[in-house]
Structure 1
Amino acid sequence: MTDLPAAPAPAEHRPAGRVVLAGAPLGRASDASVGLAQALATAPLIAAEDTRRLHRLAADLGVAISGRVLSFFEGNEQTRVPQLISALRDGLDVLVVTDAGMPSVSDPGYRLVAAAVQAGLLVTALPGPSAVTTALAVSGLPVDRFCFEGFLPRKGGSRRRLLAELSGERRTMVFFESPHRIAESLADLAEALGTGRPAAVCRELTKTYEQVVRGSLAELREWAAGDVRGEITLVVAGLPAGPAQVAPTELAAAVSALEQAGQSRKEAIAEVAAAAGVAKRLVFDAVVSAKRHD
């Protein structure tokens, strides 16, 4: 007697699905993990930032996608999350794939992860490339401690306020930036952190035209005046330990001496900041504080 196939379990008895965050290659399809290729072939539901890029990646890997594919990008992320949570509760695993790198790192995915965690659903990951750690590794800057600041604000005023807050940051900083704003951002960074601060512009990582340009913020500002294209990750050294030993009163006194010698306050602050290796904002604050105490 032939056994009949078991009836599907009722939805209320079916185990919930998992959110699977899949790291996609930054450039070369050959950098994809075996786990990613297998997941693309077997996932019942794929949430993709760009469905065309997803199918191109699958084709490059020789993988046939068998599951359903949904677009999942910044513009529809908020409305798509409830649909994906419903699918998870129905027992479907949801594979999240962005254009490059790890989902939720300045890419779609965070809202889904937060909603899944709140709902008590399982979230896991297929480890893969990240532009943040890749740029850090090739930057030549200290990587023992770092912070990731995502994309810098688009508006100049907001960007300058954020950078002023970061002027005393001692960890290496990592930013994402678009090619048409990189020149302005480097100029603001030089103004806030000091023209001599070491940094690296990592462009088109792992791709055919990969380029890593290292130098001071002043040098990179000049380099960015040309035609810059591609995906950019910017790595900037933190405030070195030495300048912290220079007391604000000493900075203010140095500015005062230069002013008495005939320099304008702006020129004096810039010269003292460069000599001490600190941001001009820190010297300016020292001058204001000294005058307040006087």
Structure 2
Amino acid sequence: MIILAATPIGNLGDASRRLVEALEAATVVAAEDTRTTLRLLAALGIANRPRLIALHDHNEKDRAPELVELARGQDVLVLSDAGMPTVSDPGYGVVAAAAAAGVEVTAIPGPSAVVTALAVSGLPTDRFTFEGFVARKHGERSAALRALASEPRTMVFFEAPSRVAATLADMAVAFGAERPAAVCRELTKLHEEVVRGGLAELAAWAEEGVRGELVVVVAGAAAREVAFPDAVTQVLELVRTGMRLKDAAAEVAGLTGHSTRSLYQEALARRA
């Protein structure tokens, strides 16, 4: 089978027993960076030296069929440099190919920068969306952020230290200067830091220079003040586009703050 294995995002002590056992038994490991994997094996005191196959963004399309064929006769362990494979890291193409070929896929869960940052951000965790890395170019980044301006869920982004100040400044324009956010730096490492504040405030802070691995967590848009009858009309409009009534009521409820159940029942009554 294909085994997706989460690796520590910083603190080596977060390596699970299952991960260690899998590395000790592995015969084939597909790794984002084979050098990083060799360092991980050495740091964990693992003597086993499996066959290492490089799997990264530039070769995954070509490597996936090979790995799936290997997995028909033996387990193939898939690792990213840190965290869970497939989450802004290689692995999705392999999983998709394995699923299409009927090859079993499983995972060894573990550290995740996305969930860790969300948990320590101090922002709502009940509903969230992971947006990965934003575009590098200012125009594309600004357009993508504007499209998220009314997103009601907490948003989680990855960003590079060299671009985080510019990204936070663009977020302040797209989402509003006072929109609450948190920059989570060097999670689980010695110099872990979480800086919270409004987006404009955080952009000014980042101008002084930021180092390390970063995750930016931004609060979702506040519910707009929409009268209940108008909210029901929005639900019915979404239904006319093909959305299920239950899903439409839930979406409008998230945007307006009205009860999903109330919207559903009133929309149902109007349709009767």
| TM-score calculated relative to the size of structure 2 | 0.81
More displaced 10-residue stretch of structure 1: 62-71 or 100-109: 62-71
Give the C-alpha shift of residue 67 in structure 1.
2.1
Unaligned runs of 5+ in 2: 228-272
Give the C-alpha shift of residue 66 in structure 1.
3.7
1:59 alignment partner AA: A
Q: Which residue of 2 aligns with 1:70?
A: 53
- 1:124 pairs, out of 97, 103, 106, with 106
Q: Which residue of 1 aligns with 2:141?
A: 159
Between the aligned partners of 2:144 and 2:3, the Cα distance in structure 1 is 33
Whether the aligned pair in 1 keeps the contact of 2:31 and 2:80 (CA below 8 Å) is yes
Between the aligned partners of 1:187 and 1:44, the Cα distance in structure 2 is 47
Between the aligned partners of 1:201 and 1:65, the Cα distance in structure 2 is 38
Which aligned pairs between 1:1-294 and structure 2 lie closer than 5 A?
Answer: 18-89=1-72, 91-241=73-223, 244-245=224-225
- Partner of 1:113, secondary structure, is helix
1:237 alignment partner AA: A
2:57 alignment partner AA: E
Between the aligned partners of 1:246 and 1:68, the Cα distance in structure 2 is 59
1:62 alignment partner AA: G
Between the aligned partners of 2:41 and 2:49, the Cα distance in structure 1 is 11
- Partner of 1:213, secondary structure, is strand
Between the aligned partners of 1:181 and 1:83, the Cα distance in structure 2 is 36
Identity %: 59
Give the C-alpha shift of residue 246 in structure 1.
6.5
Whether the aligned pair in 2 keeps the contact of 1:42 and 1:66 (CA below 8 Å) is no
The higher radius of gyration belongs to: 1
- Partner of 1:95, secondary structure, is strand
- Partner of 1:136, secondary structure, is helix
Between the aligned partners of 2:33 and 2:48, the Cα distance in structure 1 is 15
Give the C-alpha shift of residue 185 in structure 1.
0.6
1:158-215 Cα shifts (integer Å, max 9, x gaps) = 1111111100000000000111110111011000000000000011111122111100
- Partner of 1:245, secondary structure, is coil
Q: Once superposed, which parts of structure 1, at least 4 consecutive aligned residues long, lie more than 3 Å away? A: none
Q: Which residue of 2 aligns with 1:270?
A: none
Between the aligned partners of 1:194 and 1:246, the Cα distance in structure 2 is 20
